[in-house]
Structure 1
Amino acid sequence: MNGLESYIHHHFGISPTDCQRVSGLFKIETLEKGNYFLRSGKFCDKLSFIESGILRVYVDLPEKDVTQWIGTAGFFVTDVQGFMFRHPSRFNMQALTDMRLFTISYEAYLTMGTLVPKWHEFEKLFMGKCFVMMENRILDFISMTAEERYLKMFDQNRELFNQVPLQYLASMLGMTPETFSRIRRKLVS
């Protein structure tokens, strides 16, 4: 079982045979550091599982860019609004490291329901997990201090602090680089 099959089997309880059917629709894709998975204004016609590497999802605003998410191994990446509802993307998605992805095209994705009869149940579970993850991020923003958000990210994603420019982490946590540095200095001393 490859990483994609293991993830699908573990998180959704799909049989090994169905995991192989599903993963057979995905193709290996590599993305070099600095290259884009997607640019804002373009249509997202793929969904990818990150096998290795780090991807930054961000939006360009008039005075700055804001990191929405940092994708790492073991996570899926797409522009949900674009992929599911066929709207142009609001986000840029850029590789921060060399990446290896399992990628499925929109057209192949649409065939999953005929390939795996229970796919729509799994899809609903997958979307539910994504929704809960976003709800938790929103709750963190409205209920936690900047220091608490920093500590939570550090506890859950310690390796990112050595692999990703700190201004991207600060942006993702909704703080300025100066606030991020001040919290970091306070916690180190």
Structure 2
Amino acid sequence: MEQIRKFITNITPISDSDFDFFASKLEQVKVKKHTPLLKAGDVENYLYFILKGIVRLYIPKDEYDLTFGFIFENEFATAYDSFITQSPSDYQIETLTETNLFRISNEDLQEVYLNTNSGNIIGRRMAENMFLIKSKRELSFLNKTAEERYLDLFSERPNLISQIPLKYIASYIGVTPQALSRIRKRIT
């Protein structure tokens, strides 16, 4: 609980009673590598907080998956559009490593919003953060080369290369694995 309390406190101060109410709604889950947290076509009912591990957001395709997000320790993960609209998701969420996480259901999160003083502030700031991440990614595809996106990814997340298969990284930056291999040769 300390990890998530520290994370929330960095967003906004939270009283002991508010945190205790929030914590009472959390369920801790340990999942194996390559476990789907959400399948395309299902409705997202959970908001996850990653204690340890890595998850991937992707659109499954017949020939190859289109990876568009990685989420790491001390970050929230969800198919947020499906979560807030309660409509089927167009993409999947899968663990890339053994993952330890907390989760809270949509129903329980709504109770937190209604019954705590800081719940709405935290929710708003998390939504704003998700928007900024999405906006930054979209702008990088409009303004940067694949090589620049690759270099940016590793300047922000230097431990990525050892933990995520290159085919997922290639998909994330919008190139084939062969093109990523050429980029890596050029910059080393």
User: Do the aligned partners of 1:8 and 1:19 also contact (CA within 8 Å) in 2?
Assistant: no
Counterpart in 1 of 2:180?
Answer: 180
Please report how far the alpha carbon of residue 184 of structure 1 lies from its aligned counterpart in structure 2 after TM superposition: 0.9
In the TM superposition, what is the alpha-carbon distance from 1:62 to its structure 2 partner?
A: 4.7
Q: How far does residue 17 in structure 1 lie from its aligned partner after superposition?
A: 4.4
**Structure-2 residue corresponding to 1:133:** 133
Q: 1:180 to 1:4 in 2, by over 3 A?
A: same
Match of 1:76 in 2: 76
Name the residue aligned to 1:165.
165
RMSD: 1.5
Aligned to 1:112: 112
Q: How does 1:78-97 map to 2 (within 5 A)?
A: 78-97=78-97
- Cα displacement string for residues 28-61 of structure 1 (whole angstroms, at most 9, x for unaligned residues): 0111112111111111111110000111111023
What residue identity is the alignment partner of 1:120? N
2:19 counterpart of 1:9? no
Shift in Å at residue 19 of structure 1? Answer: 2.9
Match of 2:53 in 1: 53
Kept after mapping to 1: 8 A contact 2:48/2:77: yes
* Gaps in structure 1 of 5+ consecutive residues: none
Structure 2 gaps of 5+ residues are none
The residue type equivalent to 1:84 in the other structure is: I
Cα distance change of structure 1 residues 121 and 178 upon mapping to structure 2, 3 Å threshold:
same
Equivalent residue letter for 2:31: L
Q: In percent, how many aligned pairs have the same letter? A: 30
3-state SS, counterpart of residue 131 of structure 1: helix
- Code of the aligned partner of 1:167: K
Alignment TM-score, normalising by the size of structure 2: 0.93
2:126 maps to amino acid: F
Could you tell me which amino acid in structure 1 is paired with residue 106 of structure 2? Y
State the one-letter code of the partner of 2:123. E
Q: How big is the shift at 1:14?
A: 2.7
1:15 CA displacement: 3.7
1:136-184 Cα offsets, whole Å, 9 max, x none, are: 1111111111111111111111111011100101111111111211111
Deviations 1:104-130 (A, max 9, x none): 011111101232123223312211111
- Provide the rounded CA distance (Å) in 2 between the counterparts of 1:157 and 1:32: 23
Give the TM-score, by structure 1 length.
0.93
Give the corresponding residue for 1:121: 121
The total of aligned residue pairs comes to 188
| Corresponding residue for residue 25 of structure 1 | 25
1:18 Cα shift?
2.7
Aligned partner of 2:152: which letter?
K
Whole-Å Cα distance in 2 between the matches of residues 171 and 129 of structure 1? 23
Q: Does 1:155 align with 2:175?
A: no
How many Å apart are 1:16 and its aligned residue? 4.8
The whole-number CA distance in structure 1 between the counterparts of 2:47 and 2:129 is: 16
